[in-house]
Amino acid sequence: MAAQLEQSPLTGVAWASSPGAAPFGWTPITSTLEGATANFGKGFGQKSGYVLCITSTAASETSPGDVVADVQILSEKTPLPTGYIYIREFLEPKTSISKKKRICVKLVPLGVAELVVFDIMLSGKSKVVPCYMKIGEISSFAVWCKKGHLLKPKPLPKPRNIGPAMKGLSLETTDLDNKKTEISSEKSLTRIGSKYVSLKRDDSIYDTSNLYGISAMDGVPFALHPRFESSLTTRTNAFSIFTDLNIKSLSDIEKEYDYAFVVERTAAARLPPSIC
C-alpha cells in the first residue's frame, strides 16, 4: 500500500469504523509494518474499533484542490494550531472515537504546495521506520508519515503568434519565386575567352583542360549598352547602328593623342625648357 501511494501526495486522512466503511477512493490501513492488525480502540471492554484511512491524488477522479502538507497528533488539552483541521470520521452508529489523542492535518492548495505528505504507516512503538518521520503514538501504535517535496511539471512556453509583418521577413522563398529563379537561370549568355556561348544552369564556365585560356572576363554576361539597344529596336538592319561610329585608323589615333613629354623630360634633366 505504501509503495503505491508514495508517489502521489495525500489529499486526506480519516477514521473509519471498519475497512468496509471507508468510502470509495479511501485506503484503510489494516495492518502495521510488522503485520499486526491495526485496529484502534478495540479492547478494554470495547467490542468494536476503528481504522485509519488515507486517500491521495492518485485515487481522485477529478483534479484535487488541496493536499496534506502536515500531520500532527494532539493531546486532549492541546489547542488546534492555526491552519489545521481534525481529520474526518466515517463511523457507523454507536461507534465513537477516543478524544484523548486526536489527529489533525494541514491542507494547502495543490498549486502552491511544496513540502507534502506522501504516505502514512503504522508500526509498534519500538519500531524504527527508515525515511519516515514519527508523528506520535496512539493506543499501542506508532504513527509515521513520509514527507517530501512535490515535483511540479515545468511550464511549457506559450507559442508566439507571428504576424504578417514578421512572416514577410522569412528567408524562405515561395514556390513561385523558386520557379522564376529557375527559368531566369536556366540559360545565360556568357563570355568564355573570346567567344560568347550559351550556358545551362548545370554547366561550368571554366574549362579545366586549358587554364591559360581563362581570363578575368570569364563568366561575365554580355549585354549591349542601353543607347545601342534603343537604336537596335528602331532599325530594321541590326548592323545599321554602327554607321554612326567613327572608325579611326592607328595613325589617326597616334596623331590625335601624340604627346612628346617635353615638360617631363625637361624637368628630369633640370634644364631650361626649349622648344624644338
pTM: 0.52
pLDDT score of 103: 94
pLDDT at 28 over 80: yes
Name which of 55, 59, 44, 53 is nearest 17 in CA terms: 53
Burial readout 182-200 (b: 16 or more C-beta within 10 A, e: otherwise): eeeeeebebbbeeeeeebe
Say what the alpha-carbon torsion angle 32, 144, 56, 71 is, to the nearest 10 degrees. Answer: 140
Q: Are 14 and 89 in contact (CB under 8 A)?
A: yes
Mean pLDDT score of the chain: 75
- Summarised one tens digit per residue, pLDDT across range 125-158 is 889 999 999 999 998 899 999 999 988 766 666 6
Q: How confident is the model over 93-118, as a mean pLDDT?
A: 88
Is the pLDDT at 104 greater than 60, yes or no? yes
At residue 4, the pLDDT reads 39
Report whether pLDDT(276) > 70: no
Between 91-105, 136-150, 152-166, 226-240, the lowest mean confidence (pLDDT) is in: 226-240
C-alpha–C-alpha distance, residues 273 and 180, integer Å: 67
Q: What's the alpha-carbon Rg for the chain, to the nearest Å?
A: 50
Q: 266: pLDDT confidence band, cut at 50, 70 and 90?
A: confident
Residue 45 has a pLDDT of: 52
Q: Between these two residues, 13 and 187, which has the higher pLDDT value?
A: 13
